[in-house]
Structure 1
């Protein structure tokens, strides 16, 4: 009944309570400001730390250039590895919404810890005297890097999920909404660049001229705004249910391909579907249509 009426989404979307959702009340452009605002603020927070981090390590923690560059590179590399954790959790267990919510909280705690490490004198080494610069102590290093790597963990749940969660707000079975999805990604990357631009200019200037506590505190504030923005749209979001680990399904495809490589392909493409039903056998996934490519 819901499918024939055209009032409900046809891609299996549900609301926060797991009920089918009306197209007119949920998703689409009405929720995009919440998601785009989240991404813009999160990118501002990330680049507000990453852009000038070498300067902080050399000027405030009195590290050498080589050590500072190595620490920053290691941290940034970690930021690009942790999305593997977030992606698996989102697809297999938690769903994108709860993954973003949980990791955003971790991210915010890391930002606050980093701000405190740059604001409280006891958490910083003493100032240089006559060109002699005392190194940071173990406790000072521990607090700083604890906050820094909490941020790396937090970004692992946000980076792989926000864009796809935004795409979930547009029904693939509706031709009009499918066109709007492409426009959403244009605005999504515009939001990323706005956040990066503000960080690379304004935030860096504040850090160099007004102090690191304020320079880290402003990105932390924007991360708090990102969390508020994200949760504000909860009643209007469309949710896709997690459908199990994609790694398991990929392995199944490889094994099946090796075992059945010499089977004759039927001429009727409808026989190639995973199930005779119109919906996917995998909960939370859309059914793939037949294609003649990649035989």
Structure 2
């Protein structure tokens, strides 16, 4: 993976020539609008930060303990509860893709945020109302459980998915530790009420700050360029590619006061180069103004970058399926362990806060210790690359799932011996998974942002969220599939409602095997990856 360096390559050329380009073919780049500076500029980011804090507290107030609520109050099965939570998590990360599209093409950012906040608040109100409704029996941790109230289910899940639609923002690491404790020790309704209050305050703050928030109007989607290259490639499929790639169509700025970056031509995916062929027919028809017939080399290379990133992105989906266990089966595993540590009762969902703290510490260790240490190990003084760091995270995920499997084996033995295992034994798997998240999840965002063309950075950040969404969807599908297959012929299955009679360890071993295969698939594509090269004409 030595090609995956930290920086994009730069090629600088002093080239005043262009290939018979008339003035009508020059790409007109509008001047960037000047930002107005004033003494109150600091208030807008302060408001945004405050809103994000409140949104994160509300979201995590629901999310961290959701699998426990569905099991204990709504009386869902172990497997179905885990599958439902993964599906909801996936939806909450998928919605930002739709929100970004609406903001870019229809509504603009302000209107999109306002409508999302209103839906978010409505969803939280429904969640709180559903939690106030009595459940018969009130709590159910054993098996079998009586069916829950259908009206309560309808209200709760309607609110749940409204929150998923409304919370389409960036997830932060703030944790509502107080709300989690209130839910399990005082009242679920009061705990959800706290989260609802956070969203209400966020909506009020957003409306109050309206006069000083900068609004971006819709400007269209960069996907249009992608489709233009594909269409132009097929339209020109009968044309012969020139032996000299410099003969392909590219716009070169004649403004000597300002250099315009463009992407260097690469030799892979040659079929797409046909979109940039300058034929006599194209020039006669003035197709330099018809982007569905001829595209620039830079536009073609932008599509090539997306294709190269696709395998890296796809392996992240399987990584996401494994890491989603923190919100589902890890918590369920903790509920059947001894949650007493000394005189304290530890809510299983609160261990997620321990994982976030570990991620924060690992970020510091990696940046201050690991990366500087690699500079001394490599002969040329280079440091571990972003692709290599992502690979380390993929590798660590194998161990995280294996540790969870070994723990479950040990827990089942302790149950048969009549000595429930302490929940503190879960800490190692959280520590390792936090290492994997530090190396992979954070670095992936940096890598996608660095490799993305300037016109597609926002879109690739959205695709990073989509990767997380699909990972949760995949986790939901795997759980549902394993539960269905292993319960055939009247068997209790691997993930029964009573985990003491199941084999959750087999499920974790499956995830470890999937992570193992995923790691080697990643290694193959990462070793073939070519960094983008930017050419700046001076």
State whether TM-score is above 0.5.
yes
Asked whether 1:232 is paired with 2:208, we answer yes
Q: What is the match of residue 223 of structure 2?
A: 247
Q: What is the match of residue 252 of structure 2?
A: 269
Q: What is the match of residue 7 of structure 1?
A: none
From 120, 129, 143, the counterpart of 1:116: 129
Aligned CA RMSD, in angstroms, stands at 3.2
Q: What is the match of residue 417 of structure 2?
A: none
Tell me how far apart the structure 2 counterparts of residues 245 and 266 of structure 1 sit (CA, whole Å): 23
Q: What is the match of residue 176 of structure 1?
A: none
Q: Is the 8 A contact 2:73 2:139 kept in 1?
A: no
Q: What is the match of residue 150 of structure 2?
A: 138
Give 1:49 shift: 0.4
Q: What is the match of residue 165 of structure 2?
A: 153
Tell me how far apart the structure 2 counterparts of residues 267 and 83 of structure 1 sit (CA, whole Å): 34
Tell me how far apart the structure 1 counterparts of residues 138 and 249 of structure 2 sit (CA, whole Å): 76
Higher relative contact order (CA 8 A, sep 6+): 1
Give 1:216 shift: 0.5
Asked whether 1:12 is paired with 2:33, we answer yes
Q: What is the match of residue 66 of structure 2?
A: 53
Asked whether 1:98 is paired with 2:104, we answer no
TM-score by length of 2: 0.38
Give 1:85 shift: 1.1
Q: What is the match of residue 22 of structure 1?
A: 36
SS at match of 1:292: strand
Tell me how far apart the structure 1 counterparts of residues 455 and 86 of structure 2 sit (CA, whole Å): 41
Q: Is the 8 A contact 2:127 2:160 kept in 1?
A: yes
Give per-residue Cα distances to partners, 1:212-243, cap 9 Å, x unaligned: 00010100100111112222221112222211
Q: Is the 8 A contact 1:125 1:137 kept in 2?
A: yes
Q: Is the 8 A contact 1:103 1:153 kept in 2?
A: yes
Give per-residue Cα distances to partners, 1:170-195, cap 9 Å, x unaligned: xxxxxxxxxxxxxxxxxxx8xx32x3
Q: Is the 8 A contact 2:126 2:156 kept in 1?
A: yes
Higher Rg? 2
Q: What is the match of residue 535 of structure 2?
A: 292
Q: Is the 8 A contact 2:95 2:165 kept in 1?
A: yes
Q: What is the match of residue 125 of structure 1?
A: 136
Q: What is the match of residue 335 of structure 2?
A: none
Query: Which stretch has the larger CA shift, 254-263 or 57-66?
Result: 254-263
Tell me how far apart the structure 2 counterparts of residues 125 and 95 of structure 1 sit (CA, whole Å): 46
SS at match of 2:228: helix
Give 1:78 shift: 1.0
Tell me how far apart the structure 1 counterparts of residues 159 and 101 of structure 2 sit (CA, whole Å): 24
Give per-residue Cα distances to partners, 1:148-202, cap 9 Å, x unaligned: 011111123x34xxxxxxxxxxxxxxxxxxxxxxxxxxxxx8xx32x3x2x1x21
Tell me how far apart the structure 2 counterparts of residues 69 and 34 of structure 1 sit (CA, whole Å): 35
Give 1:265 shift: 5.2
Give 1:287 shift: 8.6
Tell me how far apart the structure 2 counterparts of residues 39 and 142 of structure 1 sit (CA, whole Å): 29
Distance 1:250 1:229, change over 3 A: farther
Give 1:23 shift: 1.8
Give 1:257 shift: 6.2
Give 1:291 shift: 4.1
From 209, 216, 219, the counterpart of 2:185: 209
Q: What is the match of residue 220 of structure 1?
A: 196
Note the residue ranges of structure 1 that are not aligned, 5 or more in a row: 1-9, 14-20, 160-188, 276-285
Distance 1:249 1:94, change over 3 A: farther
Give 1:22 shift: 3.0
Q: Is the 8 A contact 1:53 1:72 kept in 2?
A: yes
Tell me how far apart the structure 1 counterparts of residues 251 and 86 of structure 2 sit (CA, whole Å): 53
The residue correspondences of 1:165-176 to structure 2 (distance < 5 A) are: none
Note the residue ranges of structure 2 that are not aligned, 5 or more in a row: 1-30, 255-259, 263-287, 290-453, 457-532
Distance 1:266 1:253, change over 3 A: closer
